[in-house]
């Protein structure tokens, strides 16, 4: 949920990624890594 709200605010240009990362207490690289993980399709085990 937090990630979705952050993405919405960034897309609406209300805040930069750096500003959100500072507020949330996460690194920019961590933010982008989490975003990439969320966008990958789920892996199904055989």
Q: How many domains does the chain have?
A: 1
For 7-40, how does the pLDDT look when each residue is reduced to its tens digit (9 = 90+)? 676 767 777 888 888 988 989 998 888 888 877 7
Q: What is the extent of the structural domain holding 10?
A: 2-39
Q: Do you know the residue count of the chain?
A: 46
Contact 10, 17 (CB under 8 A): yes
CA distance 20 to 14: 10
pLDDT of residue 14: 75
pLDDT of residue 29: 93
pLDDT of residue 27: 93
Within a domain: residue 44? no
CA distance 43 to 20: 29
0.95 surpassed by pTM: no
Within a domain: residue 30? yes
Q: What angle do CA 24, 30, 32 make, to 5 degrees?
A: 100
Within a domain: residue 8? yes
Tokens coding 37: 């993980």
Band (pLDDT 50/70/90 cuts) for residue 6 is: low
Which of 17, 13, 16, 43 lies closest to 30 in space, CA to CA? 17
Within a domain: residue 45? no
């Amino acid at each position: 949920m937090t990630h979705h709200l952050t993405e919405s605010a960034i897309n609406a240009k209300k805040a930069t990624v750096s500003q959100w990362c500072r507020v949330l207490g996460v690194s920019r690289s961590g933010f982008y890594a989490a975003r990439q993980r969320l966008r990958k399709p789920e892996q199904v085990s055989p």
